[in-house]
Amino acid sequence: MVAAPRSGCPINAAVEAFGDRWSLLVLRDIMFGGRRHFRELQAGSEEGIASNILADRLKRLVHDGLLTRDEAGPGQKATYSLTEQAIQLVPVFAQLGSWGVRHRPTTPALRVRAELLERGGPKMWADFMDELRETHLGIARPTGRRRSVTEQLANAYRTAAAVSAT
């Protein structure tokens, strides 16, 4: 999707699309943190991304088809949305999160989302993807919905953050 890929291997393709120290974190904040604007992403970043790096990554992700950018005039609030490609990274995030929780030190507040997604399994991932499609692509999701996964994730995070603050 960009320049000449180093090989035709699907793993390499994934690495070339978001195999650096920031791209996945930006996608994570948009996907799980509900952040849609430049300043939200920069200020709210747990890891403290620099604005030039963020600008570069957003540009690259848009170019590679993982994000779309909705203009609102220059100097105005531009909104970034996930594409279907990016939404289909939900299972990847779930597995990466499970691995991170199992094998690396993590803080309770930031861990709960990964744990929830792991317990929920592929069904919950699919529900979450449907919700993302609604939020980011404007595709109405099937009727008769159970409790919103997005809300569950947000609530779990809030609760854990409150507990760890005490």
For DNA, the binding residues (CB under 7 A) are 20-22, 37-40, 48, 50-53, 55-56, 58-59, 69, 73-78
Residue 66: name the closest of 89, 46, 48 by CA.
Answer: 89
User: How is residue 138 written in tokens?
Assistant: 């404007």
> Is residue 26 part of the contact set for its own copies (CB under 8 A)?
no
Residue 97: name the closest of 148, 155, 25, 14 by CA.
Answer: 25
Query: How big is the chain by its Cα radius of gyration, in Å?
Result: 16
Q: Which stretch binds its own copies (CB under 8 A): 69-77, 97-105, 131-139, 148-156?
A: 97-105
Q: Which stretch binds its own copies (CB under 8 A): 35-43, 70-78, 109-117, 144-152?
A: 109-117
The item of its own copies, DNA, none sharing an interface with residue 106, based on CB under 5 to 8 Å by kind, is its own copies
Minimum CB distance to DNA, residue 160 (Å)? 27
The item of DNA, its own copies, none sharing an interface with residue 56, based on CB under 5 to 8 Å by kind, is DNA
Three-class DSSP category at 135:
helix
**Residue with smaller CB distance to its own copies, 59 or 102:** 102
Cβ neighbours of residue 33 under 8 Å, at least 6 residues apart?
Answer: 44
If one counts every other C-beta atom within 10 angstroms of the C-beta of residue 50, the result is: 11
> Is residue 47 part of the contact set for its own copies (CB under 8 A)?
yes
> Is residue 3 part of the contact set for its own copies (CB under 8 A)?
no
Q: DSSP string covering 22-79, please? A: SHHHHHHHHHTT---SHHHHHHT-TT---HHHHHHHHHHHHHTTSEEEE--STTS--E
Q: Which residues sit at the interface with its own copies, rule CB under 8 A?
A: 1, 5-17, 19-21, 24-25, 28, 46-48, 65, 85, 88-89, 91-107, 109-111, 114
